[in-house]
Amino acid sequence: MRVINNDKERDKINLRFDIQSCNTTVTSERNKLQETVSVLQDAVGSSPSGIDGKLIGACKQALEQISICLQNLNQSRQFVDQIDTSEEVPDGEY
């Protein structure tokens, strides 16, 4: 007979919570960085050059890395959802 292992189920729930917390934090930081890029672009005009252009480029590169991070977090959540927390126990032991 298959039964749920409460320890495994609790660990699975904790993993989901941790991933969601990371996702929330990373999303918040992404939004702040997007706001920063917008402010910088408004401040320097349509064709930034020199240090302004490098700074905006670095921010955009960071945004790309954050997007990859969010994709990986979402994939991690999918993997956690697939974890089987049940186990086989002999009949009469449960």
Which residues on adjacent β-strands are paired with residue 2?
A: 88
Q: Determine the pLDDT at residue 8.
A: 96
What is the rounded distance in angstroms from the CA atom of residue 3 to the CA atom of residue 15? 20
Quote the pTM value.
0.82
Q: Determine the pLDDT at residue 93.
A: 65
Which residues on adjacent β-strands are paired with residue 69?
A: none
Position 94 pLDDT exceeds 60? no
Tell me the pLDDT tens digit for each residue of 63-83. Answer: 999 999 999 999 999 999 999
Tell me the pLDDT tens digit for each residue of 17-44. Answer: 999 999 999 999 999 999 999 998 888 8
- Residue spans of the domains in the chain: they are 2-88
